[in-house]
Structure 1
């Protein structure tokens, strides 16, 4: 993103000491999906500070929302690996405010002093959320302010990015339900894994509750390995061709949980009469978008997450068995 620098006149003197876009909020939050969310107001002010007079044609402000979908897919061919590249950028939102200066004439002189021009725009409830943190692919929103100087002088620009965040409605009960996996390995172990609710707040913790009841005398628990996997799916509709798509999984982070009889064994699990190991853990999620982004499905960008759990079992005869399973969730 272009950075702000002092601006100079033709004579080399600093004319603009400040040209900046200021927003009331750098994060615009929509509650609910695109069909149920209310519009949200983007509101701010354009600030200009002049040391001396400045001739301008106009001062205007534009809003642009862009979606970029890009990937490189390596295909094995008889002659080797052939890389197929897709890279497409589309404009998903555009708005231009009437000029703050120069609406009626292109010959204007701004006197020295400080200027503030307020602006606002109601973002529709179905505006796509920002997607940041992926390599090349993403959805971004930027404001661009311009002082048009005419043909004989360079225009002056200021930029401001902001993020659109979409959250679940508190009444979205389908995401508050617990997710559970229950199964039996005959003559070996009975187990259950519970994630108390399907939706997890980004950057918080995943609560995990596990129970293991041995069905084989002398069976012991080994390490439980938990891996967070992000499923990225991108698609582009061709102008005169079928949809092109790409899918990629990336390992976000992992945890190794030590299980011992001293810490986790219970002779009577919650008065059920069963004995076994009970493990309750809070798994901390990454807090940076570059490592893990939110779940979404918008403009050909689909992100999902799942946990892969692998449990090592120490058999009485000394060999190690493993049981594995997945659970999906949203944040």
Structure 2
């Protein structure tokens, strides 16, 4: 994989409005986001021949979306997934281009995440039949990601003395960043006191510790560095990639390793050697901020601070714009 460093690029980005009542189909939103990404890159329908997406049975397949844009696909995949799926799909895009299966790949996610199928275990998701892995959780009341993550967060607080006040600084930082982002859903800056006074969702998560549920679609376009030289935007080179890295078990996580460990512990052993750098060489980070606590745990596990020091790290000002290593400068999922 080291041989692929800087040989592939992200050349276009597109997104729809972030709303809570899109009144549009996921098909229409996907088409808009992909078209905007193609325009951003200076590409037409004949220039894109691969398409990838991820979903949770809440989107529209690539094989439907592609023809709506006049694209005939040489390769497409729609995989079931959640966080870190985009990174995995970037790696897959690089691989299929490398072996000659296609030349340029559009990667999208489209969902009505508030007005239709909400992640939080209510509405249509909550009414779905209990089967498969849900048999170990839903009969006992575990219906949402917040409930699933909470034991890891609580264990970190128990083991290392991490406080809700410290972790609330993640929301504070991201809200400052979002206040400068015209596309963010929540642009209002919040304080630590605001986070701690918001209502409980599941201990230790307050409402403002949780990400925003919105209707939207986004798209990235990946192609070779050679091809990127002729396109509209300055390309973003991919130095290394890891995605869908998992812990030994995702269901009974307590059976292997510290309960507060997240998959970044394993992913860092892939992505940093690929890129030929270490955490100390990174000036800007982007984290999966489904919750304030997930950002804190990820930054720890990737080595930006020592294990147990995440609370102090995120509350030090380092993750804010103007700090040593800003995180999620768009406002992230906590605000977008």
Same fold (TM over 0.5): no
Structure number with the higher helix fraction is 2
TM-score range, shorter chain: under 0.3
> Normalising to structure 1: TM-score of the pair?
0.24
Q: Which structure is larger by alpha-carbon Rg, 1 or 2?
A: 1
